[in-house]
Amino acid sequence: MASTRRPLIAGNWKMNGLRADGLALAKGVADGVKQAKWSDREVLICPPATLVLAVAEAARGSGALVGGQDCHAKPSGAHTGEVSAEMLRDAGASHVIVGHSERRTDCGETDAIVRAKAEAAWRAGLLPIVCIGETLAEREAGKTLSVLESQLKGSVPAGATAAKLVVAYEPVWAIGTGKTPTTPEVAAAHAHIRKVLGGLTAEAAAVRLLYGGSVNSRNAAELLAAGDVDGALVGGASLKADDFLTIAKAA
Ligand code: PEP
């Protein structure tokens, strides 16, 4: 791994966490990050929108970062139920996940929508984590690399730099299933992503690429050691502070 690519371990809580449990979890992670005093990796918590403000306050001074799970492309206006990148920033977020496969599937988000959301993140001063990944059918049809390429080209806005972009490779079939690609498969996908990024930004070699999909405290070390893997996007295992911190330690 190039020394400029500081590993990022990001926890996506999805639609989980009421105030009491969410704050206890955030405090557990923040305390662990504070104790570890990591300067060689970053740890990010992405709670539901209702908890971003409280989690950011709980994490303040610990070194743990806070992000949103999605944002609207517009800064404000008549978009009932939506949250803008500016609102997340105002609540204390520094990052935002865009294009998660659950949003691509549940909400019909296209690459163009994801790209607009990444641009919104830039406008608000947030670092977008752009998610891409193939479905099982696409994988079985041998289309993994071409799907990644077209999602990447469609979802990453022009003007990307290493400081303004993180990409998460999340095979849809690996999310929440306990199944993962082999380490060589992860490395091959990441190498391809980096190659395609080379056509999109002059700083492709320094862009951080996260692997996501059933990362847990037992498989993290192996997955994080795969070539071109600069961290992890963690769903289920980010809901237990000890497990999430074990993954962060493995980075
Ligand atoms: C995710 O939702 O981004 C994810 C990777 O989930 P899990 O770790 O539970 O597979």
Kindly give the confidence (pLDDT) of every residue in the chain, 251 residues in length, as a single tens digit, with 9 standing for 90 and above. 445 899 999 999 999 999 999 999 999 999 999 999 999 999 999 999 999 999 999 999 999 999 999 999 999 999 999 999 999 999 999 999 999 999 999 999 999 999 999 999 999 999 999 999 999 999 999 999 999 999 999 999 999 999 999 999 999 999 999 999 999 999 999 999 999 999 999 999 999 999 999 999 999 999 999 999 999 999 999 999 999 999 999 99
**Global pTM?**
0.97
Q: Which of 251, 164, 247, 249 lies closest to 206, judged by CA?
A: 164
Residue 78 Cα to ligand 1 midpoint, Å, equals 31
Residue 212 Cα to ligand 1 midpoint, Å, equals 6
Among 214, 224, 244, which residue has the most ligand 1 atoms within 8 Å of its CB, making it the best to mutate?
A: 214
189 lines ligand 1 (CB under 6 A): no
Predicted local confidence at residue 4, as pLDDT = 82
Which of the residues are catalytic?
Answer: 100, 170
Among 97, 167, 169, 233, which residue has the most ligand 1 atoms within 8 Å of its CB, making it the best to mutate?
A: 233
- Written as six digits, the tokens of 232 are 């992890």
Predicted local confidence at residue 68, as pLDDT = 98
Residue 119 Cα to ligand 1 midpoint, Å, equals 24
Instruction: Compute the distance between CA of residue 203 and CA of residue 178 in angstroms, rounded to an integer.
Output: 33
Which residue has its alpha carbon closest to ligand 1 atom 5? 213
Ligand 1 atom with the smallest distance to the CA of 234 is 8
Ligand 1 atom with the smallest distance to the CA of 177 is 10
Ligand 1 atom with the smallest distance to the CA of 14 is 2
- Written as six digits, the tokens of 173 are 């079939």
Q: Which of 210, 205, 250, 199 lies closest to 233, judged by CA?
A: 210
Residue 102 Cα to ligand 1 midpoint, Å, equals 10
Instruction: Compute the distance between CA of residue 28 and CA of residue 22 in angstroms, rounded to an integer.
Output: 10
| Residues in the chain, overall count | 251
Predicted local confidence at residue 1, as pLDDT = 40
Predicted local confidence at residue 2, as pLDDT = 43
Q: How many CB atoms lie within 10 A of CB 39?
A: 8
Which residue has its alpha carbon closest to ligand 1 atom 4? 235
